[in-house]
Amino acid sequence: MAAPSTAWRNWAGTESAVATEVARPRDLDAMAGAITRAARAGRTVRARGSGHSFTAVGAAHDVALDLRDWTGVTAADIDTGLVTVRAGTTLRALNVELDRLGLAMTNLGDIDAQTISGAISTGTHGTGAQFGGIATQVAGLELVLADGSVVRCSADERPDLFAAARLGLGALGVISTVTLRTEPSFVLAAEERPEPLDEVLAALDENCAENDHFEFYWFPYGPKALTKRNNRLPAGSEPEPLSRARQFVEYELMENMAFGALCRLGRRVPGLVRPLNKMASTVLSGRSYRDVSHRVFVTDRRVRFVESEYAVPREALGEVLAELRRRVPRLADPVMFPVEIRVAAADDIWLSTAYQRDSAYIAIHQFVGMPYREYFDVFESIAGAVGGRPHWGKMHTLDAAVLRERYPRFDDFVEIRTKLDPTSVFTNPYLDRVLGERG
């Protein structure tokens, strides 16, 4: 087995780092040993996930913990739905294992490449007005602290730590296992179709209330949006997926190969971006199917992009989108990718973007290699005007001073962090910026 590389680069190519050492633990003792050795030597530790964050939250500049050998389900109770899984397990692998057990995650985002620990630690979420992010499905955690001790937390055991660690940015310790609340497998009916953007916005509250999971994509230079409605079917419903041929045409040919070709053309000839983007919005086609939940939630995306996402109060979504629609056409550099809009219910996780407020998520993207800084800065200023909170795994420029104002429990999180990791073992430059440096 080849030794893991000390060099690291994230999926989008926006961040990179070189560790001084990589540890690849196969058991809890090896994980704790690597952490305590680093702590005694005055070195920092970061756990490596799949690198799907657009920020440097997972970058290790001293010791990197490679968790690829620390995977799999360790316990599953079919009656209660409680499933314990090792931290390095990807969502893709977890969904396969849950399928085998007749279980499913309640809600998912549209990417399944992340590890379960990375997904909850950065606030990965899906959509649905009555549903929270993936971290809200966590029933318990086990963490290895800077002194090598192993602690557990849940709503009943160390509840403050639980409120912090479910979305902890890897700043409190290394998550070793995650216990999830799952449910019996279910089938989703999916309906996807283009609709006039103005009509989508006018009916947004209705669509969010009437559908289990609603989202839409807005193409900045076109009049239409692609809407997606996913609704649960009664237990025992049979899947009716798209045919293999249509799946290939719709997803592989159109959404990956053809769209990727359009993006590359737009990158070479920026003057074509606006008509290409408008064309992409007009050639969208509708589709309806039903399938096992995770096969509907998740989409295979291979066209690479950079991304920024903010959660804003649900009631501010119209204001934010109106301002974004007004200002995007004025940008010096055109935008190739659509904007994604989702919703989520309020939760009680201290650093959650949906802490104590029903939220709308606006995610903006740009094709890799195309200018994005002005666009992202404009968006950040618009979202910031309504108290928007940036997704912890996506690009933003905010620091601890600003974030403290937007998270009511920010100082409580920092206090727990200081108690658990007084010598700042679990840090890196990104965490120094967003949580504040310590002497």
Whole-angstrom distance, CA of residue 195 vs CA of residue 209: 18
How deeply is 283 buried, as exposed, middle or buried, from its count of CB atoms within 10 A (0-12, 13-18, 19+)? exposed
Considering the domain boundaries, does residue 343 fall inside one?
A: yes
Q: What is the pLDDT of residue 281?
A: 73
Q: How many domains does the chain have?
A: 3
355 versus 253: which is more confidently predicted? Answer: 355
Q: What is the pLDDT of residue 20?
A: 96
Q: What is the pLDDT of residue 253?
A: 80
Nearest to 406 by CA among 360, 354, 362, 364: 354
Measured CA angle at 421 (ends 418, 424), to 5 deg: 95
Note the residue count of the chain: 439
Phi–psi pair at 132, nearest 5 degrees: -100, -175
Considering the domain boundaries, does residue 404 fall inside one?
A: no
Q: Identify whether residues 331 and 220 lie together within a single domain.
A: yes
Residue 302, pLDDT above cutoff 90: no
Q: Identify whether residues 108 and 234 lie together within a single domain.
A: no
Domain of 42: which CATH number?
3.30.43.10
Domain limit, last residue, from 135, 157, 184: 184
How deeply is 417 buried, as exposed, middle or buried, from its count of CB atoms within 10 A (0-12, 13-18, 19+)? buried
Look at residue 122 and give its three-state secondary structure: helix
Which pLDDT tens digit goes with each residue over 331-370? Answer: 999 999 999 999 999 999 999 999 999 999 999 999 999 9
Considering the domain boundaries, does residue 358 fall inside one?
A: yes
Strand-pair category, 150-154 with 138-144: antiparallel
Whole-angstrom distance, CA of residue 7 vs CA of residue 18: 4
- Are 352 and 346 in contact by the 8 Å Cβ rule? The answer is no
**Mean pLDDT score, 271-294:** 86
Q: Identify whether residues 223 and 363 lie together within a single domain.
A: yes
Which range has the worst mean pLDDT, 86-95, 241-250, 346-355?
241-250
Q: What is the pLDDT of residue 1?
A: 57
Q: Identify whether residues 172 and 49 lie together within a single domain.
A: no
- At 195, is the pLDDT very low, low, confident or very high (cuts 50, 70, 90)? very high
Report the mean per-residue pLDDT for the chain. Answer: 95
Domain of 209: which CATH number?
3.40.462.10
Q: What is the pLDDT of residue 283?
A: 67
Which pLDDT tens digit goes with each residue over 47-77? Answer: 998 999 999 999 999 999 999 999 999 999 9
Instruction: Find the domain containing 210 and state its range.
Output: 187-390
State what percent of residues in the chain have pLDDT above 90. Answer: 87
Whole-angstrom distance, CA of residue 389 vs CA of residue 163: 18
Q: Identify whether residues 204 and 135 lie together within a single domain.
A: no
Q: Identify whether residues 107 and 218 lie together within a single domain.
A: no
**Mean pLDDT score, 409-417:** 98
Q: What is the pLDDT of residue 348?
A: 97
**Mean pLDDT score, 239-254:** 86
Considering the domain boundaries, does residue 417 fall inside one?
A: no
Q: What is the DSSP letter of 252?
A: I
Domain of 134: which CATH number?
3.30.465.10
Residue 132, pLDDT above cutoff 80: yes
Q: What is the pLDDT of residue 2?
A: 61
Whole-angstrom distance, CA of residue 142 vs CA of residue 86: 10
Sign of the C-alpha dihedral computed for residues 329, 332, 336 and 340 taken in this order: negative
**Mean pLDDT score, 138-156:** 98
Nearest to 21 by CA among 2, 39, 5: 5
433 versus 303: which is more confidently predicted? Answer: 433
Q: Identify whether residues 193 and 266 lie together within a single domain.
A: yes
Domain limit, last residue, from 123, 154, 184: 184
Nearest to 378 by CA among 315, 325, 314, 436: 325
Phi–psi pair at 88, nearest 5 degrees: -85, 0
Q: Identify whether residues 328 and 283 lie together within a single domain.
A: yes
Which pLDDT tens digit goes with each residue over 1-33? Answer: 566 789 999 999 999 999 999 999 999 999 999
Q: Identify whether residues 23 and 144 lie together within a single domain.
A: no
- List residues bridging with 289 in a β-sheet: 190
Domain limit, last residue, from 66, 100, 117: 66
Q: Identify whether residues 60 and 41 lie together within a single domain.
A: yes
Residue 439, pLDDT above cutoff 70: no
Considering the domain boundaries, does residue 179 fall inside one?
A: yes
Whole-angstrom distance, CA of residue 198 vs CA of residue 256: 27
Phi–psi pair at 367, nearest 5 degrees: -60, 140
Considering the domain boundaries, does residue 429 fall inside one?
A: no
Q: Identify whether residues 44 and 117 lie together within a single domain.
A: no
**Mean pLDDT score, 306-322:** 96
- Are 99 and 292 in contact by the 8 Å Cβ rule? The answer is yes
Q: Identify whether residues 41 and 30 lie together within a single domain.
A: yes
- Are 126 and 342 in contact by the 8 Å Cβ rule? The answer is yes
Strands (E) across 149-271 are located at 150-154, 174-181, 183-184, 187-196, 213-218, 224-232
Q: What is the pLDDT of residue 300?
A: 84
- Are 136 and 182 in contact by the 8 Å Cβ rule? The answer is no
Phi–psi pair at 74, nearest 5 degrees: -105, -20
Whole-angstrom distance, CA of residue 343 vs CA of residue 396: 20
